[in-house]
Structure 1
Amino acid sequence: MKPVLSSLLCCALLLLSAPALAQAQTGTIHGTVTAAAINDPIPLVVVTASSPALQGERVVQTDAQGQYVLSGLPAGVYTLLFEHQDFRAKARQNLLLSEGGTLHVNVTLEVSTMEEIVVTSGPAPLIDLGAIGRGVSGFFERLAGSGNKGSQGGTTASGPPPSNTTPPHQAPPPPERTALPPQQPFADMYFKSYGVNPTIDTEEERFSTFSVDVDRASYALARSYLERGALPDEQAMRVEEFVNSFDYGYESDPESPFSVHVEGFPSPSRKGYHVVHIGLKAREVSRQQRKPSHLVFVIDVSGSMDLENRLGLVKQSLRLLVNELDERDRVSIAVYGTTAHTVLGPTRATEKRKLMAAIDSLESEGSTNAQAGIELGYTLASEHFLEGGINRVILCSDGVANNGITDADGIWQRVRGQAARGITLTTVGFGMGNYNDVLMERLAQVGEGNYAYVDQLEEARRLFVGNLAGTLQVVAKDVKLQLEFDRKAVARYRLVGYENRMLAKEQFSDDRVDAGEVGAGHAVTAIYEVKLREPTPSFATLRIRYKAPEGGDSRLVEKELPASILRPAYGRAAPPTRLSYVAAAFAEKLRGSYWVRPLTWSQLVSLWEEVGEPLHDRPDVAELGSLIRKAQTLDRRADRFEQLVPVSTMDFDRVPAIK
């Protein structure tokens, strides 16, 4: 492979490279924005498109005829946010844009009324106090002073906005981290924001669909920051990975591939809403039943890994794993620095001394040729493929590449193609500073594996010892969840987290759409906030679609969610359910989510204390309480927001419909 020198950022964020995007045919979303009361076009509406397929966000404004055009968009699922100072913001979600396709999306905006605020995907905007309470008549009166009458008696704008209006929103910077902000204590930490899910009106969309995620890297990253006396980067906080970091004691159902556990209670932070906890547990596989494995470790030994909490911790983690393997298993080790080479070919796990000697021999050298290492790992796995067994490449790295990346599309095709053959990819991240969370998560997602971040030996023990079968053996592929809310029972809902796993409702039944993998005994938990209308026997239907590990057509599991699972108070819910809410609220606080601003750190500490026995005796739950208190001492964002807009003056329950 011919090495190519390029900037650290372009290489480290190879998944976002221009050549990869340029090869795909792009599409267009366009439409017209009008005022609901009089059907006149609204100029200067800020239209923001967000999607996991995009680098950052795309922002345009409507013209004098209220029209907007978003062109050059890659295929994907989009959310559009429409904002104007005199109108209620509105979002259109789950817009599926095919490759080279065109979507025509018209919207009507209603007049803004006092205190009605809506926040959709993307960081919560600051509230324009001067705009609150202004009506549509005032808007058109001001506009008339500088505009021309339209042919239908309406008004259109020409030239710059009049001086007595607030300037339109500036286009926000892309959420992709391209430079180190002054407040961040660790250099070259690469993260990507996927926004914050909005509250959805069931009259407009009653289906909520997403791919499962069993990763927990985000929680370990947050812990690593806080243990070093710093707040974590908001962009690194993925709520679902906090929630899925804890064991809620679900029991498996021997008669079903998944057991379902549901419970709810009134929300401590959103008046009039209920928190609904939905947990799934995959079938267990005992240590004796686990399939034989060939594990190929691809280890980054470049100069950036030459630290005890990087390569040193990798070696400690591998020793733990080797001790858990038995005569059924084989291990290969490949390393990469400036070049890639094999340290140890396929070796039976019973040859402990030989394996330990190979691990001890690992030393740091050279630059970071990540692609060469990954290619070599797949070559070893392919040449020694274990029929009917577990074939997995395990990448241990800080995720940074500065040499040898030549074709972004090529590496994704390679990873995806090998996953289709049955060779999956797990990524395990190490290190603070010079770390690429974006790349590590994306590689695992494309490689149909899981992503972990190891900040301490205990995390490695959990991954490679306590949950070895779940880490290695997949029991369900392409697992998707869908909730269909009963409009008679539920007025509005919000999925807390899973922003980068959202799917359009049509994709739920489409077996061509990739989704998450679930290992043996793995649990998946999702948290919803729902606003109820009237008592009904059930309030939603849960559907789970999945494929067998060997592939084939998907299968469907369907469960009614009865209203009887809704408890009258937080304290009446089971301790594990309370714990899941505390974990979710902690992540929401750390990422600065609008929806938990009424919830203070002191209140969150109290909620953690109310989780109660016997969970408080568990080390991981005790650690959660300690981390919440550390964040409380470090966070000054709430103080700044309170000075701008006192939370006590805001009505977080009066959220307008999102269409």
Structure 2
Amino acid sequence: MKRTTDGTRDGTRATRRKGARTRRGARRLRTALVALTAASGLLLTACNGGDHDGKASDSSYEGGGGPGGGTGGGGNSDAAPLPAPDGTRGADRQREGEQDDRRDIAPDPDHLSTFALDVDTASYGYARRTLSEGRLPDPSTIRPEEFVNSFRQDYERPDGNGFTVTVDGARVDSDRTDSDRTDSDRTDGARTDEDDWSLVRVGLATRSAGPDGDRPPAALTFVIDISGSMAEPGRLDLARESLATMTDRLRDEDSVAIVTFSDEAETVLPMTRLDGNRDEIHDAVDALEPAQSTNLGAGVETGYETAVEGLREGATNRVVLVSDALANTGDTDADTILERVGESRREHGITLFGVGVGSDYGDALMERLADKGDGHTVYVSDEEEAREVFSEQLPRNIELTARDAKAQVAFDPEVVAEFRLVGYENRRVADEDFRDDDVDGGEVGPGHTVTALYAVRTRSGASDGHLATATVRWLDPTSRAPHEESGSLEAGDLGDSVWTGGRGLAVTATAAYFADALGPDGRRHRALPGAPGLGELAGHAAGLADRTGDRDLHDLAEAIRTADRLS
């Protein structure tokens, strides 16, 4: 595995267009309330991480980008495959999402895979909530990349804005157990013994977030759902408590505004500096009362209007939506809602952060709103999860270190016969648009890691040679100047087994296999080769949890056991 740095290239200001997904649900407010505190303070601190797998080299790539899977064609393998040159590849070109009969691998002989970065985790959180209530989640709500990105990774981190790139992989060998591990097995990678299949992981990491005092001031517009169901005890009253806690935790130089919505939306507090005004903010919070229906569209529109009116130069301006996203009045389509606030988003760079709550949750709408609103979503199901979000996950969302970030992976067709990107279906980007900075990517803040997993079948006898190069491109959040970073993997560096290699790859594989089992047609046409049964998979998760003491992995093992019982 190698990591390389490429130079800066000229680019233009990016516009936004993000992918779509679909989902449904309803709310439970006690969670919403705790989520509120989470969203507020959480927006202000950061996660940590750091893996030291990569080595620097000088190779860099010139060229353009497209969707994510294909079969390797012929070609010269004397050099690593380059990203596609800028230009049109043809409208009739088959994209990865168009499945064939063989493991959902696209038949197009394309060696490139391109996607916008995504740091959402709501799909996994909502699946755990559903399983805890004794139900299997709706397969349409399963997004594998959000399962994978829900777990900490120890990638090496950069010193400044931008990314490091880690590429590793290993064969899938379900026959070997942890007791079979040797020192030579302890690499970060994994292949599958099934017909030369391997799992290849592409890991991207931003810098660690500094102390809270190091971040820019925050200008947060909270858009709070106060529809009728919020009147039940333990819901709106808890929301008020959470907002009050947020008010006490923010810095004096931060500002907040509060917008509420039910059948209509109202700005109950314009953008107000915390310094000297905490009592006024507390009074506004205490006055929140439940009302009627859920006009989420009006809430988002009024929220953006309020954010623009209170826009602060030099601050991080963000809209924070707390809702179960069960819109039943006014506009209920994400594209229509965001079209009305498009100018505010593009001109002022105001991003949307979604906090989803409730056992019946409108995941599809919330996720699409966040994607197209240049933000991301989390899901909170109880107070413990809210505390975790508050202390670990959301703090990094105040600040941005990269805008419009995209990744492109180039597989060597002499070594790779076929491959498939797991998940990211709604984040695919045309290969030729990789370096088109007018094509939207993902917004990422400090403390984040982004992981993409590929199922890769190497050609028979291809035990060495260049396997893949991954390149990430992003725009500086202030200057909008484009930058790139790359990492590569040789076939000879693939580990012997996913399960006997490093922790990071094993965790990634476990989360991906779990999502694969829960997703559409998961048991008939698996995207991932070498998939273990749920009982065996739970054992792998439990083993990882025992070795690392990671509470998140214990929770994953329990969720898998529950799914196994319910299946």
**TM-score normalised by the shorter chain: which range applies?**
0.7 to 0.9
1:266–1:450: structure 2 CA closer, same or farther, 3 Å change rule? same
Q: Aligned residue for 1:280?
A: 204
Q: Aligned residue for 1:430?
A: 357
- Cα distance in 2, alignment partners of residues 123 and 314 from structure 1: 45
Q: Are 1:367 and 2:293 counterparts?
A: yes
Q: Aligned residue for 1:198?
A: 104
TM-score where L is the length of structure 1: 0.64
Q: Is the 8 A contact 1:282 1:522 kept in 2?
A: yes
Q: Is the 8 A contact 1:463 1:471 kept in 2?
A: no
Pick from 551, 560, 579 the counterpart of residue 507 of structure 2. 579
Q: Aligned residue for 2:146?
A: 241
Pick from 420, 424, 445 the counterpart of residue 494 of structure 1. 420
Q: Aligned residue for 1:638?
A: none
Q: Aligned residue for 1:231?
A: 136
Q: Aligned residue for 1:254?
A: 159
Q: Which amino acid aligns with 1:431?
A: G
1:386–1:579: structure 2 CA closer, same or farther, 3 Å change rule? same
- Cα distance in 1, alignment partners of residues 396 and 131 from structure 2: 28
Deviation of 1:487 (Å): 1.2
1:374–1:494: structure 2 CA closer, same or farther, 3 Å change rule? same
1:54–1:575: structure 2 CA closer, same or farther, 3 Å change rule? closer
Q: Is the 8 A contact 2:165 2:470 kept in 1?
A: no
Deviation of 1:79 (Å): 10
Q: Aligned residue for 1:138?
A: none
Deviation of 1:576 (Å): 2.2
Q: Aligned residue for 1:536?
A: 464
Deviation of 1:408 (Å): 7.0
- Cα distance in 2, alignment partners of residues 366 and 124 from structure 1: 48
Write the mapping of 1:123-522 to structure 2, written as runs, cut at 5 A.
198-200=104-106, 204-254=109-159, 257-268=162-173, 271=194, 272-286=196-210, 287-307=212-232, 311=236, 314-315=239-240, 317-319=242-244, 321-349=246-274, 351-405=277-331, 411-420=337-346, 421-433=348-360, 435-522=361-448
Deviation of 1:605 (Å): 1.5
1:558–1:469: structure 2 CA closer, same or farther, 3 Å change rule? same
1:416–1:198: structure 2 CA closer, same or farther, 3 Å change rule? farther
Q: Is the 8 A contact 1:474 1:549 kept in 2?
A: yes
- Cα distance in 2, alignment partners of residues 412 and 548 from structure 1: 24
Deviation of 1:366 (Å): 1.0
> Max radius of gyration: which structure?
1
Deviation of 1:232 (Å): 0.5
Q: Aligned residue for 1:114?
A: none
Deviation of 1:255 (Å): 6.2
Q: Which amino acid aligns with 1:198?
A: D
Q: Aligned residue for 2:554?
A: 622
Deviation of 1:537 (Å): 4.2
Q: Which amino acid aligns with 1:204?
A: P
Q: Which amino acid aligns with 2:350?
A: I
Q: Which amino acid aligns with 1:425?
A: L
- Cα distance in 2, alignment partners of residues 452 and 631 from structure 1: 22
Unmatched 5+ residue regions in structure 1? 1-50, 57-76, 82-93, 108-118, 128-196, 636-659
Deviation of 1:364 (Å): 1.6
Deviation of 1:475 (Å): 0.8
Deviation of 1:464 (Å): 3.4
1:315–1:604: structure 2 CA closer, same or farther, 3 Å change rule? farther
- Cα distance in 2, alignment partners of residues 210 and 120 from structure 1: 11
SS of aligned partner of 2:120: coil
- Cα distance in 1, alignment partners of residues 304 and 354 from structure 2: 14
Deviation of 1:248 (Å): 1.5
- Cα distance in 2, alignment partners of residues 263 and 214 from structure 1: 20
Greater relative contact order, per chain length (Cα 8 Å cut-off, separation 6+): 2
TM-score where L is the length of structure 2: 0.74
Deviation of 1:544 (Å): 0.6
**Stretch moving more, 411-420 or 583-592:** 411-420
SS of aligned partner of 2:114: strand
- Cα distance in 1, alignment partners of residues 126 and 97 from structure 2: 23
Structure with the higher strand share, 1 or 2: 1
Deviation of 1:532 (Å): 1.7
Deviation of 1:104 (Å): 5.0
Q: Aligned residue for 1:569?
A: 497
- The sequence identity of aligned pairs, in percent, is 37
- Cα distance in 1, alignment partners of residues 546 and 21 from structure 2: 45
1:606–1:391: structure 2 CA closer, same or farther, 3 Å change rule? same
Q: Is the 8 A contact 1:576 1:611 kept in 2?
A: no
Q: Aligned residue for 2:482?
A: 554
Q: Are 1:602 and 2:530 counterparts?
A: no
Deviation sequence 1:367-423 (CA, Å, 0-9, x none): 122222222211221111110111111111111222232997653223332221121
Q: Which amino acid aligns with 1:473?
A: E
Q: Is the 8 A contact 1:481 1:543 kept in 2?
A: yes
Q: Is the 8 A contact 1:546 1:554 kept in 2?
A: yes
Deviation sequence 1:276-333 (CA, Å, 0-9, x none): 1221111223122211011010111112444567646644554554444211211111
- Cα distance in 1, alignment partners of residues 168 and 335 from structure 2: 43
Q: Is the 8 A contact 2:400 2:477 kept in 1?
A: yes
- Cα distance in 1, alignment partners of residues 467 and 405 from structure 2: 23
Deviation sequence 1:184-239 (CA, Å, 0-9, x none): xxxxxxxxxxxxx83246x8010011111101000110011011010001000001
- Cα distance in 2, alignment partners of residues 224 and 539 from structure 1: 39
Aligned length: 465
Q: Which amino acid aligns with 1:221?
A: Y
1:409–1:522: structure 2 CA closer, same or farther, 3 Å change rule? closer
**RMSD over aligned Cα atoms:** 3.4
1:489–1:311: structure 2 CA closer, same or farther, 3 Å change rule? farther
SS of aligned partner of 2:213: coil
Deviation of 1:266 (Å): 1.2
- Cα distance in 2, alignment partners of residues 358 and 268 from structure 1: 59
1:54–1:559: structure 2 CA closer, same or farther, 3 Å change rule? closer
- Cα distance in 2, alignment partners of residues 493 and 80 from structure 1: 6
Q: Is the 8 A contact 1:477 1:551 kept in 2?
A: no
Deviation of 1:575 (Å): 1.3
- Would you identify which runs of 4 or more consecutive aligned residues in structure 1 move more than 6 Å? 53-56, 77-81, 122-125
Q: Which amino acid aligns with 1:283?
A: R
- Cα distance in 1, alignment partners of residues 323 and 20 from structure 2: 25
Deviation sequence 1:585-633 (CA, Å, 0-9, x none): 1111111422258521112122213425542x22211111111111110
Q: Which amino acid aligns with 1:228?
A: E
Unmatched 5+ residue regions in structure 2? 1-17, 24-65, 71-83, 175-191
1:215–1:558: structure 2 CA closer, same or farther, 3 Å change rule? same
1:571–1:104: structure 2 CA closer, same or farther, 3 Å change rule? closer
- Cα distance in 2, alignment partners of residues 312 and 569 from structure 1: 51
SS of aligned partner of 1:288: helix
- Cα distance in 2, alignment partners of residues 331 and 549 from structure 1: 22
Q: Is the 8 A contact 1:368 1:403 kept in 2?
A: yes
